[in-house]
Structure 1
């Protein structure tokens, strides 16, 4: 049977297990939301610091690149001996993976502000902090939000891995559905 033919059965499975679905969905969304908010709180200031201190930029981007290059599941299992099984361990893996898109977009958006605008503000006596807050970050916001959107999509897609470490989420239905050859359950989780 094709996946399209399995969709009605997946819908029936979802309706029959609504309570469990909403519990898994809430956990999944909590993982995503907390991971992305924490990544924003680290990556935006990190990106600003990288644009203010060019010598640190290489190290900050290096950290982001390493965080992105290590698979989420590997990060989860590296953190497991320290944090144990559960939500927090999964959260660390998802948070780490979400940093790079926000970091690179913060740097790119801030650096791409037209230099003539910055020079005009300096000529009018605007402080560096005011230039950053009122001009650079304001003009960079669309680019920063694009990074946040990318990080959110990546995190939603990888949050199913939380199942492997006992973190919950919709990965439970996806992985159990695959193991039991229960396509309706797998599709309902996906």
Structure 2
């Protein structure tokens, strides 16, 4: 109970939230890193998944290769990148490691969503004279949207948690609060930092849940 009281005291202290080392500044850094990595991974994974899902070829191999990446710890990838020439380029090793970490759920869910589209609907769209790209963007992608969004949500929440690793190599983000707590032997600060990361991840989850609730009806409208 004493530890929890000390954690609450740390969170309630305004000085811990202000300045360059404060929670708000670290939260902004964490959000920027998360969104940047999420955008980059979406730009890489989603076009590949949509294309392969539409063609129905090579997708299983791509998904299996992406899933192999899940077995490799992100921290191990980060350390290996630091040993390469990229290690001399600031935050690039962290950025690349997090992007690689986010690709598997994006690729898997988007591909499965594309292949789960009712083939009768696809054939009907073809019979109406739709071209390949019209079929993709007016039929397949809207119907696959819920699963695509699920992949984006999973990747985003995982990135929020994993982006704390940036602090281990001198990067910013909420992980700096936790590492500073370890350096100061301050258990309340370590626990408070972990709580803030957990709350941030839950808020990210809630945001995507809100989008999911609005998304399917809009997607059905586009399909029609």
Q: TM-score, normalised by structure 1?
A: 0.90
C-alpha change, 1:121 and 1:55, in structure 2 (3 Å) is closer
Would you say 1:83 and 2:86 are equivalent positions?
yes
| Deviation at residue 61 of structure 1 after TM alignment | 1.4
Q: Which residue of 2 aligns with 1:32?
A: 34
C-alpha distance in structure 2 between counterparts of 1:171 and 1:161, whole Å: 6
C-alpha change, 1:130 and 1:168, in structure 2 (3 Å) is same
| Deviation at residue 2 of structure 1 after TM alignment | 5.4
C-alpha distance in structure 2 between counterparts of 1:116 and 1:52, whole Å: 14
Would you say 1:143 and 2:164 are equivalent positions?
no
Q: Secondary structure of 2:173's match? A: coil
Q: Which residue of 2 aligns with 1:7?
A: 7
Q: Secondary structure of 2:160's match? A: helix
Deviations 1:122-163 (A, max 9, x none): 111111211111000011111101110110000000110001
Correspondences of 1:40-51 after superposition (within 5 Å):
40-51=42-53
RMSD (Å), alpha carbons: 1.8
Would you say 1:168 and 2:172 are equivalent positions?
yes
Q: TM-score, normalised by structure 2?
A: 0.78
C-alpha change, 1:44 and 1:160, in structure 2 (3 Å) is same
Would you say 1:97 and 2:96 are equivalent positions?
no
Q: Secondary structure of 1:168's match? A: coil
Unaligned runs of 5+ in 1: none
C-alpha distance in structure 1 between counterparts of 2:68 and 2:3, whole Å: 36
C-alpha distance in structure 2 between counterparts of 1:175 and 1:49, whole Å: 42
Q: Is the 8 A contact 2:54 2:114 kept in 1?
A: no
Q: Is the 8 A contact 1:87 1:168 kept in 2?
A: no
Q: Secondary structure of 1:113's match? A: coil
